[in-house]
Amino acid sequence: MWRYAIPVVLLLVLGAFFYRGLYLNPTFVESPLIGKPAPEFTLPDLENPEGTVGTEDIAGRYALLNVWATWCVECRHEHDFLLSLAESGMPIYGLNWKDERDKALEWLEVLGDPYVASAVDEIGDVAIDYGVYGAPETFLIGPDLTILAKHIGPLSTAIWEARFAPLIESHHGAP
């Protein structure tokens, strides 16, 4: 009566997956884009509607691309950290995602502006290219426009030090 043994086999298979799962880090969502060139874009500049912001501006140094929007509550939580990061000299570019210009400008005026510039992605096309799940998301982009890392959710000092800073240091050699 081998069919009565099916459940125990299923359980063992499940158990094997769990065992494997214990040693994987589930908070780390690997983007398929990591190690690949950042999708190119040129979008209107938030603060200067006639001008543009694009991958060309980002190239040449380590920079962050931060997806944000005024409707995003978590973006507010990470805002202070972004400000301190910008102060320490890290160039941060914003991708203002599916937002309204007036509200976005008001947000930056009230809360402070950590961004070198923010690109306006009103329809969300560029966000799709970048595989954005939701705001906030942050990409670390290398000087050659390679995506080095991606974080979903608000950035914090802990995440920065664990995930982003080591990458910059290792690529730089010594800090």
Kindly list the residues in this chain that would bind other proteins in the complex (CB under 8 A): 1, 4-5, 7-8, 11-12, 14-15, 17-30, 32, 70-71, 73, 76, 103, 106-107, 109-110
User: In 28-43, which positions are buried (b, 16+ CB within 10 angstroms) versus exposed (e)?
Assistant: eeebebeeeebeebeb
With respect to other proteins, which residue has the nearer C-beta, 68 or 93?
Answer: 68
Question: What is the edge-to-edge ordering of all strands in the sheet holding 117-121?
Answer: 117-121, 92-97, 63-68, 137-141, 147-152
Q: What distance lies between CA 104 and its chain's CA centroid?
A: 19
Token pair recorded at residue 68: 């944000």
CB of 12 to other proteins, least distance (A): 7
Shortest distance (Å) from residue 1 CB to other proteins = 4
Q: Which is nearer to other proteins, 57 or 77 (CB)?
A: 77
| CB nearer to other proteins: pick between 32 and 89 | 32
